[in-house]
Amino acid sequence: MIPPHDGTAVSIQDDIRAYLEAKKREATLDIRNYPQPIAGCDAQIPLLWERRDSLVEDLTRFAALGDEMSKEVLAKFVATCCNMTSEDKRKFTSRFIAPKSPRVRVAAE
C-alpha cells in the first residue's frame, strides 16, 4: 500500500496524504456498506464512525502542517499518527533515512 519513493520530503508528504485518504475512503465504504439497523444490534457502527472521524482529524492535522514539510516534521507526524499500523509507520520512517553509501577501502601502498 505504500508506494516506492524517490526519498524527497515532497514525495513522502504526498504518499502520507494518499495513505490517509485511502484509509478514510475505506472507512467511509465500511459505513456505507454496513447493514441496515436492527434494534439493539448496532454496536459496531459507532466504532466505524469513530475510525472515520479519527482519520478526518489526522488529515486535518496533516494539512495544518503546511505544503512543504521537512522530513523531521513528517517523521514526527508519522510517529504520532493514530491511524497507521506499526508496520506502515516503520515503512514511512525508513524513507526519511538517507541510504548509506558503501564504504570504499583504500589499500595502503
Q: Give me the residue spans of the domains in the chain.
A: 9-36+44-94
Query: In the prediction, which pLDDT does 3 show?
Result: 52
Q: In this predicted structure, what is the pLDDT of residue 38?
A: 67
User: In whole angstroms, what is the distance from residue 105 CA to residue 80 CA?
Assistant: 41
- Alpha-carbon span 100 to 97, nearest angstrom: 9
pLDDT in tens, 6-62: 567 778 899 999 999 999 999 999 988 887 776 666 777 888 899 999 999 999 999
Q: Tell me what pLDDT residue 99 has.
A: 59
Residue 68 has pLDDT above 80, yes or no: no
Rounded to whole angstroms, how far apart are CA atoms 78 and 94?
11
Q: What pTM was estimated for this model as a whole?
A: 0.70
